[in-house]
């Protein structure tokens, strides 16, 4: 699995150009501390980047960033506040639209597409 920094098996196959890889890696790596702080603030146990950001069809002018999040157990209101707070905070921080998929929502699905392109 290719990581945001371009390491890992098959890294070359996941990105169209080195420039795209560099842009994604720079964006994510330069905000690692802030993303970790957001995860703590919003009760996120795990946050993975998936989709075009790791697959190779990222469009720097139009692609959003897709994240798969796993939240700690929260009341329904707290969960909603955390979900929408994280999504809007990531969009502001990263300067892109964010698709935030909850792990709880796909845990029971046989979702090879997500598991094969997570970082």
CATH number at residue 38: 3.30.460.10
* Domain assignment of residue 102, yes or no: yes
* Domain assignment of residue 81, yes or no: yes
Place of tokens 């939240």: 71
Phi, psi of 22 (to 5 degrees): -65, -40
* Domain assignment of residue 62, yes or no: yes
Determine the distance from the C-alpha atom of residue 56 to the mean position of all C-alpha atoms in its chain, rounded to a whole number: 14
What 3-state class would DSSP assign to 87? Answer: helix
Reported pTM: 0.72
- Which tokens belong to 13? 């196959």
Question: Tell me: the pLDDT tens digits for 7-56?
Answer: 444 344 334 556 655 667 677 778 889 999 999 999 999 998 887 777 77
- Which tokens belong to 66? 């897709």
* Domain assignment of residue 2, yes or no: no
């Amino acid at each position: 699995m290719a990581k945001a920094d371009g390491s890992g098996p098959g890294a070359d196959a996941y990105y169209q150009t080195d420039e795209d890889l560099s842009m994604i890696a720079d964006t994510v790596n330069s905000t690692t501390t802030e993303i970790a702080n957001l995860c703590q603030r919003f009760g996120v146990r795990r946050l993975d980047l998936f989709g075009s950001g790791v697959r190779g069809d990222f469009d720097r002018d139009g692609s959003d960033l897709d994240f798969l999040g796993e939240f700690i157990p929260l009341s329904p209101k707290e969960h909603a506040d955390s979900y929408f707070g994280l999504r809007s905070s990531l969009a502001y921080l990263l300067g892109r639209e964010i698709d935030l998929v909850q792990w709880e929502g796909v845990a029971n699905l046989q979702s090879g597409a997500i598991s094969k392109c997570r970082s």
